[in-house]
Amino acid sequence: MSATGLPSDFLARLDARLGPGGLLTDEADCAPFAIDWRRLFPGRAAAVARPASTEQVAAIVGLCREAGVALVPQGGHTGLAGGATPDASGRQIVLSLARMNAIRAVDPVGLTLEVEAGCVVQAAQAAAEAAGRLFPVSYAAEGSAMIGGMIATNSGGINVLRYGMTRNLVLGLEVVLADGSVVDGLRALRKDNAGYDWKQLFIGSEGTLGIVTAAVLRLVPRPRHTETALLAVPDPEAALRVLAAAQDDLGDTIQAFELISRCSFELLERHADMASPLSPSPWCILLEAGSSLSGLRDAVEGTLGEVLERGDALDGVLAESKAQAAGLWSLRERITECEAHQGKSVKHDVSVPIPAIPAFLEAADRALAEGAPGTVPNVFGHMGDGNLHYNVLIGAEHDGAAINRLVHDVVDRFAGSISAEHGIGQYRVDELAHRRRPEEMALAHRLKRALDADGLLNPGKVLRT
């Protein structure tokens, strides 16, 4: 054993297998990989392995297995649940997939894209766009987030109501298992019922069952016309009526329907000097529709006219240009960053049945006012798919874990989920165990044991091991 507590020649063997630049061991070099974006889960890594190929990933997993060393897979380092950072023992290895960033193939007719796990989400979008197609997973962190992390967390984003979660957009996967074997399921097929659909096990498993090294993603036709509108609404009930009107008039051309509270706009004003083009209102909706058929603008204008006339919307703006649409989107996308500048917050990534959103918000606000006076809800999110970020701004005197439980109790009353799109990571690991039925947790532990008997893949994430 060496001073690190790892077998003495272990790091040298990793280094030899990875080649020049493949292994970081210096504490200062490893430090940025050992803490999450929110800086809530500081850890310490024995080393950071940066493989450049699937074979190297398999070799590293094999060496870690022989030495009994745990591995923490990491992508773009944008997760909000501490799912990709090591613990504080200094005995875990971070496996960064960043060097495996190739775009291997684009098929604009078959509508598929094959990429490696370290490809940045925005680069995958750009490759689809260059082929005249759309890769529809989109969120504020897309400029850094990587495909491997997107798949490992089954991430959502702003287009889920039209195109589904990441799970709906993965056709094939290549995975390295805990025993170092490589399972190649990189099939570009729409229909494939030949046996178990095993890839689903790995999507959303946060690197605890296997390491995603490459994927075949589903592309969609790129809508020729896109219309983006910001609407001021008096309350969440009115927002629901706007959603119903948009569903009636615009059908499945609606691709985003985001709810933004007044508090979020205040944070944007304070920390990014960004102002809404509309006069202040308790809530806003950012709506986007897309179609390749003509007539979309008329249809969107019709919907806006109707909801304004009925008083469900108080004010509204329909973007006149791509630049104006991008400006509206940047208001929505910069909320997270402004919330971080504000100070401490307790994040909630919840979903409830869509019609229950107004009652959920009322109940959560009440629970907070009674149970944690002095806190302020900063609510925004993907109303069109039922997923809200009911984040709570807190002071030093507040107990974050208690606020978490308080809000999740309300989520339970509405038969919702405590993790809609960010995953469990370390942040929600106890809450998951507490809230899921024992049979579901027992099944999860059986899957974990079956695929990672020694518990070396991302231990302590999703499940307490």
Residue 112 in tokens: 């598929």
Name which of 79 and 207 has its Cβ closer to ligand 2HG.
Answer: 79
Name which of 80 and 242 has its Cβ closer to ligand 2HG.
Answer: 80
Name which of 140 and 357 has its Cβ closer to ligand 2HG.
Answer: 140
Question: Residue 422 Cβ, how far from ligand 2HG at the closest point, in Å?
Answer: 6
Q: Label each residue of the chain as H, E or C.
A: CCCCCCCCCHHHHHHHHHCCCCEECCHHHHHHHHCCCCCCCCCCEEEEECCCCHHHHHHHHHHHHHHCCCEEEECCCCCCCCCCCCCCCCCEEEEECCCCCCEEEEECCCCEEEEECCCEHHHHHHHHHHCCEECCCCCHHHHCCEHHHHHHCCCCCCCHHHHCCHHHHEEEEEEECCCCCEEEECCCCCCCCCCCCCHHHHCCCCCCCCEEEEEEEECEECCCEEEEEEEEECCHHHHHHHHHHHHHHHHHHEEEEEEEEHHHHHHHHHHHCCCCCCCCCCEEEEEEEEECCCCHHHHHHHHHHHHHHHCCCCEEEECCCHHHHHHHHHHHHCHHHHHHHHCCEECCEEECCHHHHHHHHHHHHHHHHHHCCCCEEEEEEEHHHCEEEEEEECCCCCCHHHHHHHHHHHHHHCCCECECCCCCCCCCHHHHHHHCCHHHHHHHHHHHHHHCCCCCECCCCCCCC
* CA–CA distance, 448 with 202 (Å, rounded to integer): 11
Which of 140, 230, 350, 364 binds ligand 2HG (CB under 6 A)? It is 140
* CA–CA distance, 421 with 158 (Å, rounded to integer): 11
Name which of 140 and 203 has its Cβ closer to ligand 2HG.
Answer: 140
Question: Residue 140 Cβ, how far from ligand 2HG at the closest point, in Å?
Answer: 5
Question: Residue 421 Cβ, how far from ligand 2HG at the closest point, in Å?
Answer: 6
Question: Residue 364 Cβ, how far from ligand 2HG at the closest point, in Å?
Answer: 15
Contact between 347 and ligand 2HG by CB under 6 A: the answer reads yes
Which of 153, 208, 276, 391 binds ligand 2HG (CB under 6 A)? It is 391
Q: How far apart are the first and last CA of the chain?
A: 24
Name which of 199 and 389 has its Cβ closer to ligand 2HG.
Answer: 389
Build a one-symbol-per-residue string for 63-92: x at contacts with ligand 2HG by CB under 6 A, - elsewhere.
Answer: -----------------x------------
Which of 85, 125, 208, 336 binds ligand 2HG (CB under 6 A)? It is 336
Question: Residue 255 Cβ, how far from ligand 2HG at the closest point, in Å?
Answer: 15
Contact between 417 and ligand 2HG by CB under 6 A: the answer reads no
Name which of 80 and 84 has its Cβ closer to ligand 2HG.
Answer: 80
* CA–CA distance, 169 with 138 (Å, rounded to integer): 12
Name which of 289 and 350 has its Cβ closer to ligand 2HG.
Answer: 350
Q: Give the number of residues in contact with ligand 2HG, rule: CB under 6 A.
A: 8
Question: Residue 350 Cβ, how far from ligand 2HG at the closest point, in Å?
Answer: 10
Which of 199, 389, 408, 428 binds ligand 2HG (CB under 6 A)? It is 389
Bridge partners for 261 per DSSP: 283
Build a one-symbol-per-residue string for 225-264: x at contacts with ligand 2HG by CB under 6 A, - elsewhere.
Answer: ----------------------------------------
Question: Residue 173 Cβ, how far from ligand 2HG at the closest point, in Å?
Answer: 23
Contact between 133 and ligand 2HG by CB under 6 A: the answer reads no
Task: Using CB positions, name the residue nearest to ligand 2HG.
Answer: 336
Name which of 10 and 139 has its Cβ closer to ligand 2HG.
Answer: 139
- By the criterion CB under 6 A, which residues form the site for ligand 2HG? 80, 139-140, 336, 347, 381, 389, 391
